[in-house]
Structure 1
Amino acid sequence: MVSPQSAVLDFGCGSGRYILRLQGLVGRAAGFDVSPAALDTVRSRAMSAGWDDLAVLGPEAADLDRHVQERGPFDLVLCLFGVLGHITDPDARADALARMFRALKPGSGRLLISVPNRARRFRAEQAAGARDGLVHYRRRTEDGQDVVLHYQLFDPAKLAQELAAAGFTLRKLSCESVLPESWLLHNGLARWIDSMLTPVCPVRWGYGICAEATC
């Protein structure tokens, strides 16, 4: 999917989980995020790895737009690990997808995006009255504070609808994983089992839904 000539953007790059793995594999790379703390982490990790020309963009969306104007559009945009699900306002989510669309090369650019599957996630919260897949849940922070978080869940039809509204042409839907992501992060056997299950499972069974789309 990538080559030494590819230009790749990680939209919602967080601490660099995906973008930093592309060092030496692509011609140009950029990570965008709205979290200043995440951007500081990416910069530090890129510096430690000797990746001086990784573009770290944000927290303002205009930083990404300016980069595209100055350096040109991307061949591939990544929006993975449920980034879109954390944008719970529909207008803001539509704006984010439109910005990804504009960041891609017209006619040949590709988007690889994954979202949380409504059929597999937060079932108790949904049963308690979630509206259109928007759930609210509690997490305890490191300093012992309880915070309420919000998450937008998707089914294949909802993801396809929002991609189409942003101008994308959907090419493929698949499972991002079958086993929960927390298992995959810390268990090599779980990752191996998941690698066997994911290619053969229906999309509706996925813990996350992955889509490939073009502009």
Structure 2
Amino acid sequence: MRAYQTYFASGQYDRRYPGANLTTWARILAELPPAAHVVDFGCGSGRYLLRLQGRVARAAGFDISAAAIDLLKARAARAGWAELDILGPDPDALDSYAARSGPADAVLCLFGVLAHIDDPGARRAALGRMHGLLKPGSGRLLVSVPNRRRRFFREQRAAGPEARGRIAYTRHLGRERITLPYQLYDPASLRAELEAAGFRIHTVRAESVLPESWVLNRAPLRWLDRLLTPLCPARWGYGILAVAAS
């Protein structure tokens, strides 16, 4: 928890990832029904959530980081989105929200949020909670995770095969270093976790081909990635994006 607080409070997360991946954003819009109710699970400072303003009937964002929540509240206030429900850091806030707001049409869990829950039992519980937030049958989960075939090779070697993709990696924030847990995936392991949680898989595809920070910070690479990603098999994507039904 402290590592995430430090990461968001430092501003480095927002510098690395200043906006939405437009390929992922297009997929979100394609999955939303008219007048949708959306919950962003692990919304951070709102790089996807805030783009939904004026496009959905109701939205909520949840995060465990108080620093991220504070940033999101300030940004929502500047945008004039008083109706946005901002939840956390206690996960029980999601249950209270669902009780008063009803089931959602879509839950977003994007760019490695699920993967940062490195304990398998806690991850199962989180997926179960997301499943419970959705309208039975018609609700959609959009989830993206890091691809073990594309990232963190040194950390995977250090962890060994028995770790099954469960690693820790270090980020440098000026003079400070933070260590973050990560569960790496391939398409098969993502499918297995989602199906075990009661989801029905609709699609599994590449989230991007190039690293996310490149795509978001360099316009020519953003353009190139939007051309390449639809052609890339999920197993070779930088991240893996799944759409699943409740």
Partner of 1:79: 109
Counterpart of 2:219 (choices 183, 188, 210) is: 188
Residues 135-154 of structure 1: matches in 2 within 5 Å?
A: 135-142=167-174, 144-154=175-185
Matched-pair contact (CA < 8 Å) for 1:116–1:209: yes
Cα distance in 2 for residues equivalent to 1:126 and 1:94: 22
Partner deviation per Cα, 1:109-146 (whole Å, 9 max, x = no partner): 0000000001001011112234100112222223x123
Matched-pair contact (CA < 8 Å) for 2:159–2:166: no
Moved over 4 A (4+): none
**Aligned partner letter, 1:7:** H
The structure whose RCO (Cα within 8 Å, separation 6+) is larger is 2
Counterpart of 1:175 (choices 199, 206, 212) is: 206
Structure 1: unaligned runs, 5 residues or longer: none
Cα distance in 1 for residues equivalent to 2:233 and 2:178: 34
Structure 2: unaligned runs, 5 residues or longer: 1-30
Matched-pair contact (CA < 8 Å) for 2:62–2:94: yes
**2:82 maps to 1:52:** yes
Matched-pair contact (CA < 8 Å) for 1:3–1:25: no
Cα distance in 2 for residues equivalent to 1:28 and 1:139: 35
Q: Which has the higher helix share?
A: 2
Give the secondary structure class of the aligned counterpart of 1:95: helix
Partner of 1:120: 150
Offset at 1:80? 0.5
Matched-pair contact (CA < 8 Å) for 2:41–2:108: yes
Counterpart of 2:235 (choices 167, 185, 204) is: 204
Cα distance in 2 for residues equivalent to 1:71 and 1:149: 33
Offset at 1:182? 1.2
CA RMSD of aligned residues (A): 1.0
TM-score, normalised via structure 2 length: 0.85
TM-score, normalised via structure 1 length: 0.97
Counterpart of 2:165 (choices 114, 130, 133) is: 133
Partner of 1:160: 191
Cα distance in 1 for residues equivalent to 2:230 and 2:201: 19
Cα distance in 2 for residues equivalent to 1:116 and 1:78: 15
Offset at 1:3? 4.5
Matched-pair contact (CA < 8 Å) for 2:33–2:105: no
**Aligned partner letter, 1:28:** R
Partner of 2:73: 43
